[in-house]
A and B are shown apart, each in its own frame.
Chain A
C-alpha cells in the first residue's frame, strides 16, 4: 500500500490557483489519483497476494469498517453539541467548580455507548463550547471504558471472573478523574490548540451542522486511517509467541500487556475478548490491558494529536499511560 500512501500525500493546494475562491487543483489531483488507482488495480491486487500484506490489508480495512459507525455517530453528536446545544446548557449541566465538574463529566461517560473513536470529536466540541478542558478530558477517557456495552462485553468475556467488570469500571473511572484533576493542577491551556473553525460561525444552522460533520469526518477519519495502519502493522509484525516468555514475570507481564494495549489499538468493545484469550497472563496484567487500551492507543494518539495539537498529545498520552498502569495494578492488588 506504500505507493498509494505517497501518492495520496502531496499537498495539492500549492499548485492550485485561487480563482474566485474555488481551487480546482485538489479536485483534479483527486481525479488523477482515482484514475491511477483504477488503472493499476491489478498490480495492486497482486501486490497484496502475499499473506503478510494480505493480512495487513484485511486488518487495516476491518479496523476502519468497525470504527466507521462509531466515528460517524460521534461526529454527528459533536456537531449537534457544536451547533445546536447553547453554551449556557453546559454551565447549568455541570457543577460550576472545575474540580467537581471532573467526576461529573467522567460519570456522564456512562451514557455514551461507543468506543474511543467517537469520543475524541465530542471532547473537542465540548471544549469549544466552553466546558472546562479538565472535565472534557475526563469524559474523553471515561466514556469508552465504562459504558454499558463495554462492561457487558467484559462480563461475557470473563465468565469465571465477574469481579473483572467492577475492577475495570472502578479503575477506569479513577484514572479519568485523576487525569482531570492532574490537568487542573499542571495542565496549560495553550497546550490545547483547537484548529480555528470558521465553518462553525456560519449563519445558517443547517449549513454549520453539515460543515462540522464534513470537517470532523475528514479530520478525525484521516487520523483514524493513520492509527489503523499502525495497528495493522503491529498486528502482522508482532507474533503473539513473543509474549509467552514475558508472561511468567509478574512485573514484565503488566508492562508487556500495557504496551500491547497501546500498540494493538483494539476497539474498547472488543478488547475484553482479546484479554480473555491472553490466558497465560495474570489477571492483574489483563486488567491493566483493559484500563490502558481505551485511554491510550496508537489510533487515539493520532486522533488526539489531530484534534488538540501535538503539544497536547505528547504530554497527555504518556501521563495517562503511567496513571492507568499504576491505578490498574493498585485496583488489582486490592481485589486479588
Chain B
C-alpha cells in the first residue's frame, strides 16, 4: 500500500469516526462521555492523512531521489488495508445497538450493581419513569418497599424470556458494546405485551412480588404487574 492509498484509508477511517461521533450514531457503540475524545481522534487521523499527502506531494515534486531512495526496502504495512472494514461498517452499514439476541446471550447484570443500604423514596410522578436498573434493584434488594403503592413507567425492548413469554430488557454498558450486559424485568398481569421481539415499548405497571432466576447466570429477575403498554421509538441513548 503506498502512502497516498494510506492517506485515503486514513481519511475514510477518521471521517467515519468523526461522522459517527458528530451524529448520535456513536451512542450505539460506546458511552456518551467518549464523544470529545472520538472527535479529537478523528481530527488527528484526518490531520495525519493531510500531512501524509502534503509531504508525499512535496517529496516527489522537490527531490526525485526521495521516491527512489525509500521505494523498495520501505516497510509499508499491508495490514492497514483492514482499516477499511470498520470504516465501511460505520459509513455504509452503521449496525444497530445491541438488542434481544445479545440480551439472551448473557445473564442479567443486576447481581453486580451497588447495593445501597437504604433506597431513597421514588421521585414524584404518576406514573413515575424509572430505569430498568433502578426498578430491578429496588424490587430485588429492597423487596419492593420503596415501590409500594406507586405506578411506574419502564422503557425497554421486548426480548423472549426462558418460558417464551416476552420480557422487558435494556442493555447496560460499562465502556463499549463488547461488555454490554442486559438488565431484564419479567412482565406479568393482565395486559399481554404481544409486540415482536426487539420492539421498543413503554410499560406502565406496579410492583409484583414474583421473582425468577435468570437461567444464564442465576441472577434475580424481578417482575412488573403490567397495566398498560405502548410501542415507542428507540431512545437516543439505547443503553442504560
Contact = CB atoms under 8 A, between A and B. Distances in A.
A69 B79 contact: no
Interface string A197-232: 111000000110011011101110111011011011
A7 B43 CA distance: 28
Contacts of A272: 174
Interface in A238-290: 239-241, 244, 264-267, 269-274, 276-280
B34 A69 contact: yes
Contacts of B157: none
Contacts of B66: 21
Nearest to B67: A21
B55 A207 contact: yes
A217 B102 CA distance: 30
Contacts of A271: 179
Contacts of A63: 176-178
Contact of B95 (A27, A57, A217): A57
A9 interface: yes
A23 B76 CA distance: 12
Contact of B10 (A23, A55, A69, A217): A217
A16 B162 CA distance: 57
B70 to A, nearest CB: 6
Given A21-B60, A65-B38, A222-B81, A60 B89 contact: yes
B20 A277 contact: no
Contacts of A323: none
A274 B181 contact: yes
A278 B20 CA distance: 31
Interface residues of B, number: 86
A72 B44 contact: yes
A51 B85 contact: no
Chain B facing A: main interface SS = helix
B64 interface: yes
Highest count of chain B CB atoms <10 Å: which of A52, A64, A76, A218 = A218
A198 B74 contact: yes
Contacts of B109: 277
Chain A facing B: main interface SS = helix
A202 B228 CA distance: 69
A58 B98 contact: yes
A178 B210 CA distance: 52
A315 interface: no
B30 interface: yes
Contacts of A188: none
Contacts of A170: none
B83 to A, nearest CB: 5
Interface stretch (A37-45, A85-93, A102-110): A37-45
Contacts of A270: 174-176, 178-179
Interface of A: 1, 4-5, 8-9, 11-13, 16, 18, 20-23, 25-27, 29-30, 33-34, 37-38, 41, 44-45, 48, 51-52, 54-55, 57-66, 68-69, 71-73, 76, 153, 157, 159-160, 195-199, 206-207, 210-211, 213-215, 217-219, 221-223, 225-226, 228-229, 231-232, 235-236, 239-241, 244, 264-267, 269-274, 276-280, 306
Interface of B: 1-10, 12-13, 17, 20, 26, 28-30, 34, 37-38, 40-42, 44-45, 47-49, 51-52, 55, 60, 64, 66-68, 70-75, 77-86, 88-90, 92-93, 95-102, 105-107, 109, 111-112, 114-115, 174-179, 181, 215-219
Given A63-B176, A226-B82, 4 more contacts: A21-B70, A30-B84, A63-B177, A271-B179
19 contacts: A1-B85, A33-B84, A41-B93, A58-B28, A59-B98, A61-B29, A63-B178, A66-B175, A72-B40, A76-B44, A159-B115, A198-B70, A211-B52, A214-B3, A218-B77, A218-B80, A222-B83, A225-B79, A270-B175
Cβ-closest 4 pairs across A and B: A21-B67, A270-B175, A222-B79, A218-B80
